Structure 1
């Protein structure tokens, strides 16, 4: 919303359209407003409450045989294909070059290229950073630089675990830490993903290699936890 304002404000009152220019500090203002808005939105997000599952996962849900005294830990990871990360990195650079190519100000050109290059490099680093998933008798834990913190769903809240297919065009609207019609997702690549349904019906989806094994282990642990209550 601030980009059109940044482009139109310097043109107010000009008698000759050819004298229009865009000062470099507008780019910093636009980026600052976006960061402040994101920080406010993050601070206003409500913390999720407990959502204890009462019943065991359905009988037809995938699971492994697990004895009462057996312990099992599963871990896996996934990362975005390099060609998608490169496309993500090049996108801001190409857009910036196209926008500022019409500007006659060398300062705007230099600042725009620097900012877009830094942003593009940061996006590629985040896109290539892997997500790691651990399933054990405490529940399921995910860790990724995309979220900055570990996310854990306790075993008592796991109602069911299954596997879903994530495409390039998906219900989460893209890749990253997303919120969509299918719930919350940590989506780093197309392909199989572990989907965890909590006791209140909310869902968390994470793309990980070996999602079928992760779902089977998590269902077995959740079923044993219900039987011990």
Structure 2
């Protein structure tokens, strides 16, 4: 898994990735800014209605406000990166395949509606799980290990599915995931670690997508011909 992660990381700043790099980075920053402004405005409004809020809603609002900008962006980068990765999945995959697996056929581009549905479904799950994790952080630091466990599973599964579905149907995907579940989880933990690093985490959509393309290729017996 580490070798695949290093291949993906080393390719982030190379010339073939340059165009998609800037587009993904720009859209990630834009979405983070828009979502944060929306959440901040919503929280300010909710706190003006403090007397009418149920206890749990007031607690959530105060926790988010207390953690402030840094932890807010740390939380938001996961769903935002998932959206951006879905937008550029095929472009990133093509670059990785052309660079490292030039003699193998490309995977098929996912139909737009399938990609949109899968991305929306996963974003909603990620937001729900990480809200629970965020609320657990004040309690004995329990949220920190939960963050890596929960997101290791979720991110590993989602990014691996995106890479594998370009080559496989759902039945084949389930069999492959069952066979390599532990490794996919470890891969997800590596992505979660990447997300936890400030500034570098803005590149999560690019890194995670490229990483899981390599992981899927490795599971199917392919070897990269260019290790940069």
After TM superposition, is the score higher than 0.5? no
The structure having more radius of gyration, on CA atoms, is 1
TM-score normalised to the size of structure 1? Answer: 0.30
Higher strand share: 1
